[in-house]
Structure 1
Amino acid sequence: MRITKKLLVAGAGVVSLIACGGAAYATASAAAEAAAPIALTATAPAAPKVTAEQAIAIAHRQVPGAWIREVELDRNGAAPDVWEVKLIKGSQRYEVKVNAASGKITKSEIDRDHDRDDDHGGRGRDHAEDD
């Protein structure tokens, strides 16, 4: 009976070593997979050839002396991506769109809706108040 106990204890020890070794192997495999680079199925959008700083410089040439209010890259899918640069000069607001690949200005306009959005009940500053 003593030999049977020894075999049972030895067998239990072997089984626990195998189980722990399997768990350690599985953990090591999972860690290796997590550290491996992930292959993307969809291609990441390419960085624009024209940087934000270059788009700002182009917009400043269009509206000299203006302050930059906002710069945003508009990704337009099939259409070319554009930098939308919003500027302020005096009381005027401007919007300049710069092609992110070529650096050419695709749109430049004064934001005329700005005067209607002020705190004067929908009236621009140049309208007289009715008394």
Structure 2
Amino acid sequence: MQITKKFIVAGAGIVALIGGGGAAYAATTSATTAAPKVTAEQAIDIAHKTVPGAWVSELDFDARGSRADVWELELTKGSQRHEVDVDASSGKVVKNQIDKNDRDDDNDGDDDD
């Protein structure tokens, strides 16, 4: 009978540890994301400096979890579309590329791809 009580007590202790650990893990992963240090307006200013003369056609905030959060901006300058990602904590441009899928080389209003 003593051995059975020991197994029950040990089993209950293990269940309590696992349950507590699971609750702690859930608390850390479901915590709300802190507000970005770089505001949307600041990200737009940074993108305008990166692609002068362009206008912002799209702005999204991407909370990436384990990677750095970024502001994703799409800018249009003439017939080119630029994709610019701005780090939401440092303000550094981490991506700057011309979107080659949306080309309209002959300016007829439809994509040439």
| TM-score range for the pair, normalised by the shorter chain length | 0.5 to 0.7
- Structure 1: 5+ residue runs without aligned partners? 1-40, 125-131
Contact 2:85 2:94 in 1 (8 A): yes
Normalised by the length of structure 2, the TM-score is 0.66
Q: CA RMSD in A?
A: 1.6
Contact 2:79 2:103 in 1 (8 A): no
Specify the structure having the higher radius of gyration (Cα). 1
Q: Once the 2 structures are TM-superposed, how far is the Cα of residue 43 of structure 1 from its aligned partner?
A: 1.7
| Cα-to-partner distance string for 1:102-124 (whole Å, 9 max, x where unaligned) | 000001000001027x736xx35
Q: Considering fraction of residues, name the structure with more helix.
A: 1
How many pairs are equivalent?
81
Q: More relative contact order in 1 or in 2 (CA 8 Å, sep 6+)?
A: 2
SS of equivalent to 1:114: coil
| Cα-to-partner distance string for 1:49-90 (whole Å, 9 max, x where unaligned) | 000000000000000110110110011110000000100000
Indicate which of 16, 33, 36 corresponds to 1:45. 33
Corresponding position: 1:112 with 2:103 = no
SS of equivalent to 2:65: coil
CA distance in 1, matches of 2:36, 2:97: 23
> What is the match of residue 63 of structure 2?
75
SS of equivalent to 1:58: helix
Normalised by the length of structure 1, the TM-score is 0.58
Identity %: 53
Contact 2:69 2:89 in 1 (8 A): yes
SS of equivalent to 1:112: coil
CA distance in 2, matches of 1:119, 1:64: 25
CA distance in 2, matches of 1:59, 1:115: 21
Aligned runs of 1:1-131 on 2, under 5 Å?
Answer: 41=27, 42-115=30-103, 119=110, 123-124=112-113
Q: Once the 2 structures are TM-superposed, how far is the Cα of residue 44 of structure 1 from its aligned partner?
A: 1.1
